[in-house]
Amino acid sequence: MSEPGPTTPAVLRSLQQVLPPTVLDQVEVGEVFAEQEGLSRLGKRIVSTAFGVSGIETRRTVIAELDGELRDDPRYYDASTRQLLAPGTKARNDHYIAEAGPIFVEAARRAVEGAAGIEAADVTHVITVSCTGFFAPGPEYLIARELQLRPGVQRYHLGFMGCYAAMPALRMAAQLCDADPSAVVLVVSVELCTLHLRASDDPDLIVANSLFGDAGAAGIVTKRALGVGERGLQLDRSETLVTPVGEGDMAWTIGDQGFDMVLSTAVPQIIGEHITGAIRPLFDHDAELAAALEGGAIGGSVARWAVHPGGRSIVDKVEESLGLDAHQVAPSRDVLRDIGNVSSATVMLVMQRNLEHYAEVGDRLIAIAFGPGLTVESALMTVVEG
């Protein structure tokens, strides 16, 4: 086999996940939010609807007291009164620091250990992603220290970009591999969204309360050869589109009682109107795929899809707009059902689900994620095997 060069696509491999141990039952959590003091009659109806149609059965959280057991000094939830509490932003961020660091390190360790022929000493770059907390020295520093990476390892952190941020992280990793074909780039995303959930009458916050969970995801991007039988996703092309409308419909800001999510009901419609234009540039050099997209037959030409399940209605709209079938978006619905929306880590978990349960070698895969802006990130990949 010839040595990889700048024109050889990098491969995303050894996709791994780390989930907090506390499991939230969607029905039970919905009942808690509906019981909060001060919630209006309309708010109760919105809670019932949002939780009931979310497509989620379980989520994970780092807030152990949400298991419903009585605690002597509860910070987020008083099980004796079934009332949610309201810690300040500093308290929530301190909790993020305590919980996120170990998840970043564990996800990174699993990714390195799962990549055949790669050891910690081989890692040349670390890219971390998160929008649910801050600290410095940051998670990329912790990973380098705890995994005892080489002293000169290059470290980058993409912070506060929102649910699409893993996609530019993967693009950056591929670009680093193009610049140095021997590079081994560790990409790790950890989001602890539940630290910012709280009782509210605001419809946007109610929707956020019904969707978000906690998780970590990691993978290795490199041009080094895959191990025998090892699967990965060849990173062929990626694109970014900012829609001409929707800047105020999806946002993430810092408030006094945690971070505030804006996720309006207009988002699925905006995505539906612009999704075809968002992925069209992926096919600029592939006339067959471009023709399939314009003819409404892209689902027959691209077998696998990793659609960020920002909510059930978003997956529904992408499926409808692109003419996909239920099997093609099943990995997105699987992740939404079992884990919920875990912000930037979600799309990597959907890619992992594709590789482990759905995709065949040689399948083309399109990954799509959405975030503030309103930003649509997309990538065309190919399933490969060593």
Quickly tell me which residue has 């707009």 as its tokens: 321
Neighbour tally for 159: CB within 10 Å: 15
Here the CATH number for the domain that contains residue 273 is 3.40.47.10
Kindly state whether residue 260 falls inside one of the protein's structural domains: yes
Q: How many domains does the chain have?
A: 1
Q: What mean pLDDT do residues 201-206 have?
A: 90
Distance CA 98, CA 293 (A): 46
Burial class (CB in 10 A: 0-12, 13-18, 19+), 179: exposed
- pLDDT bin (cut points 50, 70, 90) of residue 106 is very high
- pLDDT bin (cut points 50, 70, 90) of residue 199 is very high
pLDDT tens, 336-359?
999 999 999 999 999 999 999 999
Distance from the first to the final alpha carbon of the chain: 12
Q: What mean pLDDT do residues 200-209 have?
A: 91
Kindly state whether residue 106 falls inside one of the protein's structural domains: no
- pLDDT bin (cut points 50, 70, 90) of residue 184 is very high
Q: Which pLDDT does position 285 carry in this prediction?
A: 85
Amino acid at 206: I
- pLDDT bin (cut points 50, 70, 90) of residue 3 is low
Cis peptide before 87 (omega within 30 of 0): no
**Is residue 2's pLDDT more than 60?**
no
Q: Which residues contact 365 (CB under 8 A, 6 or more apart)?
A: 233, 302, 303, 304, 305, 306, 351, 354, 359, 380, 381, 382, 383
Distance CA 132, CA 162 (A): 9
Percent of the chain with pLDDT over 90: 90
- pLDDT bin (cut points 50, 70, 90) of residue 226 is very high
Kindly state whether residue 298 falls inside one of the protein's structural domains: yes
Q: Which pLDDT does position 1 carry in this prediction?
A: 42
Quickly tell me which residue has 């990889």 as its tokens: 4
pLDDT tens, 55-98?
999 999 999 999 989 999 999 999 999 999 999 999 999 999 99
Distance CA 364, CA 9 (A): 14
Kindly state whether residue 348 falls inside one of the protein's structural domains: yes
What HEC string does 345-368 produce? HHHHHHHHHHHHHHCCCCCEEEEE
Q: Which pLDDT does position 64 carry in this prediction?
A: 95
Q: Which of 84-88, 210-214, 248-252 has the lowest mean pLDDT?
A: 248-252
Residues paired with 304 in a beta bridge: 365
Kindly state whether residue 19 falls inside one of the protein's structural domains: no
pLDDT tens, 266-280?
999 999 999 999 999
Judged by phi (left if over 0) then psi (alpha if -120 to 50, else beta), residue 283 lies in: alpha
- pLDDT bin (cut points 50, 70, 90) of residue 303 is very high
Contact predicate 12/233, CB 8 Å: yes
Distance CA 29, CA 33 (A): 6
Contact predicate 248/372, CB 8 Å: no
Q: Which pLDDT does position 362 carry in this prediction?
A: 97
Kindly state whether residue 152 falls inside one of the protein's structural domains: no
**Is residue 197's pLDDT more than 70?**
yes
**DSSP per position, 238-287:** EEEEE-SS-TTTEEEEEETTEEEEEE-TTHHHHHHHHHHHHHGGGGTT-H
Structural domain span for residue 236: 231-385
The interaxial angle of helices 346-353 and 330-339, nearest 10 deg, is: 120
**Is residue 297's pLDDT more than 90?**
no
Neighbour tally for 58: CB within 10 Å: 15
Q: Which residues contact 62 (CB under 8 A, 6 or more apart)?
A: 20, 22, 95, 99, 192, 194, 195, 214
Q: What amino acid positions are annotated as catalytic residues?
A: 163
Kindly state whether residue 215 falls inside one of the protein's structural domains: no
Average pLDDT over the chain reads 95
**Is residue 146's pLDDT more than 70?**
yes
**Is residue 6's pLDDT more than 90?**
no
Question: Strands 184-192 and 125-130, how do they pair?
Answer: parallel
Distance CA 211, CA 222 (A): 33
Percent of the chain with pLDDT over 70: 99
Q: What mean pLDDT do residues 309-330 have?
A: 96
Kindly state whether residue 154 falls inside one of the protein's structural domains: no
Identify the three-state secondary structure at position 223.
coil
Q: What mean pLDDT do residues 18-45 have?
A: 95
pLDDT tens, 155-180?
999 999 999 999 999 999 999 999 99
Identify the three-state secondary structure at position 382.
strand
**Is residue 5's pLDDT more than 90?**
no
